[in-house]
Amino acid sequence: MTSAVLDPRTPVLIGVGQASERVDDPDYRGLSPVELAADAARAALTDTGADPAAVAAAIDTVAGIRQFEISTPGARAPLGRSDNYPRSVAQRVGAWPGRAILEVAGGQGPQHLVTELAGTIAAGGCEAALLFGSEAISTARHLADAPDRPDFTEHVDGDLEDRGYGLRGLITRQQTTHGLIGAPVQYALLENARRARLQQSREEYARGMGELFAPFTRVAAGHPHAAAPIARDAVELVTVTERNRMIADPYPRYLVARDQVNQGAAVVLTSVAVADRLGVPPEQRVFLHGHADVRERNLLERADLSTYPAAVLATTHALEVAGIGLADLATFDLYSCFPIAVSAVADGLGLTPDDPRGLTLVGGLPFFGGAGNNYSMHAIAETVQHMRDRPGTYGVVGANGGILSKYSVGIYSSTPTPWRTDASDRLQAEIDAWPAPEPAVHADGGATIETWTVSYGRGGARTGIVVGRLDADDRRFLAQVVEGDDELLDLLATGDPAGTGVYARSFGTGNRVATSRDRMDALRPPRPAAFRTGPTGYEHVLVRRDGHLLEVTINRPESRNSLHPPANEELDEVFDAYFADPELWVAIITGSGDKAFSAGNDLIWTAAGKPMWVPKNGFAGLTRRPAMTKPVIAAANGFAMGGGCEIALACHLIVADETARFALSEVRVGLVAGEGGLARLPRALPRALATEMILTGRRLTAQEALAHGMVSRVVPAGTALAGARELAAEILASSPTSVRTSLQIMAETDGIPDTVEAAAHPSPALDDLLVSADVAEGVAAFAEKRHPRWHNR
């Protein structure tokens, strides 16, 4: 099929280019990411075989791959950066496009953009596109402290379609809590899951990783743009030495994607009509024959952590779209940040490491270089060149993003072909319907190791991370090895841990595992449900007992009684003790001073980069406590903001002084009321008012809160605690057994919408009450016209 019989809008790749430099090169220039991308783009424009200036003038769309320094919130750019990367590059090569795109983070980006913009061209929404990406991480590290360091800051006007970070599902609170943030430790969990499935010894599996990647090093050694062009054999790759130190078991440094690179790559994509108009020679043209884009389930939702079925499904479908089989492929470049990224796809497709066609054209991320999110742009460039050199053959690029999370596939050939659509939406629906293990956010009890890794710090520190299954119900959980359990760390680092029994216990800082319950009790003893005594007491909390009443005061007036982890931990201990003590019947929580009940989360602590966590029972030990079996009264003396408002809402009753103000102010600082405020406020107030407060941070006065039923009493300024004591005294005059039973039945029926059904709810608490001593005492006291003497049983 020639271009003459193709639809003029058929997309075609007409130019590719690459650029690089090393800091030890004699002609090293210290180029910025923009300049590296521009060099690659100029090479791509020249590679078309047409007039580069004419090709640049025809470009109506530019699309840039995000550098690492703009891929996550708060990432640093030591030498500065452009605020419009795509247009910065475009201007340097003489292109003035109407549309500029900054793609989401992830290594799938280059192939995804080629597929997307090819479809846009086929639909008539674009005629010529320039795609590019680049990293100057090596230069940034090399020159960051130089006295004459360059400034790469640029401001460029013009529209920018910034698609955001695209990190949904890749960074979760649970993973962050357990130190599962960096790519090596996450991939290591998947790698060890594969070892467990194959039932290989540590030595056998290491040898396999080395044999997989040794050919990659040879390809990189012959590539002019490789960051580490050194051929290594399988043994050298996996032998741990001072230079090849262990990063995360089973990965020594040589098996980990290399991010110290200065590299750029670019692709020119047009319609056949534009290629004809520009005079692009037929031999320069390469077509996209098949393609697919899918997203795998989130990490801990995958049924089998050792496989990558979404990528296999996408690759198989791309071949179907192209109308060819696996045997028809002449070249491969499978994304290779870590061995599992290659082997999981190869396993599913039936490829072996010694396939004579090879599994990479570029050399792999640990050896050619992990050019940020842009590695596969280099793979596409190489594939295009190979397709030109071997007319009529087919090559595949498999581009991976996240933690085996997002996969984009392209099938290329010089054979002209009309545009073919794929069925990725159907594939994605199939993937989304796959069964997932039930998760356990808080893991307690006996368990079995499913997969594991040990992360190594430069100073020799080790952190063990485990994915396990609870023996009781097979729920999957994530945990760290408890501090001090060197026996378990040694097993993870040197043994065969899969299937080993361990003991799990949950804390506010996450789940921990130890070799046994006795070992866990020795290293992290269960906290006794008792109040601290002695001269140290509590640092951030004041506690006062008065008969059956407990008064708890948040004692951080210098920070408006905001809470940081140590204060939250103390409050959690106090309320554990309160709910466990049968002689305490009512509790009051208030704030020190007269300015604030609590300003919620201590943002100064958070902004300083200190670790922020809350106990399992939530803010102040209350907002997520599963059973509030005895009354807690909030004495709101001043501002109850953010988490402070959430604490008040978690209490059974609120007494507010007339100066009190209530607000869920999290949206004002880029957060949400995640400690129950989003659920409780719409139940405490008319929904429209609650929604307004949640979305704007509006402050509610004490009188407004009283009018809407959110607080039970408003008292004069400075008397919130006195008012709460009066309310507590009224409750204490009642049977504590009846009060406790009433709270239980209210909680049991809270979710029953039908009033009659709720009234008829058969609570076992009512049965227990009817045989309690308090019932007999209450009836006798009434008959004898005296005050009852409650027994609380």
Secondary structure of 728-764 as H, E, C letters: HHHHHCCCHHHHHHHHHHHHHHCCCCCHHHHHCCCCH
Burial of residue 404 (CB within 10 Å: 0-12, 13-18, 19+) is buried
Annotated catalytic residue: which of 242, 666, 730, 748?
666
Angle of helix 677-684 relative to helix 687-696, nearest 10 degrees? Answer: 140
Secondary structure of 347-397 as H, E, C letters: HHHCCCCCCCCCCCCCCCCCCCCCCCCCHHHHHHHHHHHHHHHCCCCEEEE
Neighbouring CB atoms inside 10 A of 565's CB total 17
Is 666 assigned a catalytic role? yes
Please tell me the distance from the alpha carbon of residue 430 to that of residue 427, in angstroms, as a whole number.
5
**CA distances from residue 318 to 48, 67, 113, 289 in whole angstroms, order as listed:** 26, 28, 16, 8
Two tokens, residue 268: 């020119």
**CA distances from residue 539 to 36, 556, 587, 657 in whole angstroms, order as listed:** 55, 9, 20, 26
Cβ-Cβ contacts under 8 Å for 581 (sequence gap 6 or more) = 529, 550
Sheet holding 161-162, edge to edge: 11-20, 262-271, 128-136, 61-64, 99-102, 161-162
3-state secondary structure of 250: coil
How does 664-681 read in b/e, with b if 16+ C-beta sit within 10 Å? bbbeeeebebbbbbbebb
Closest CA to 315 of 394, 398, 380, 375: 398
Is 242 assigned a catalytic role? no
Query: Strands 262-271 and 11-20, how do they pair?
Result: antiparallel
Please tell me the distance from the alpha carbon of residue 258 to that of residue 334, in angstroms, as a whole number.
16
Annotated catalytic residue: which of 35, 211, 570, 646?
646
3-state secondary structure of 121: helix
Secondary structure of 125-162 as H, E, C letters: CCCEEEEEEEEEHHHHHHHCCCCCCCCCCECCCCCCEE
DSSP letter (8 states) at residue 328: G
Q: Which residues are catalytic?
A: 646, 666
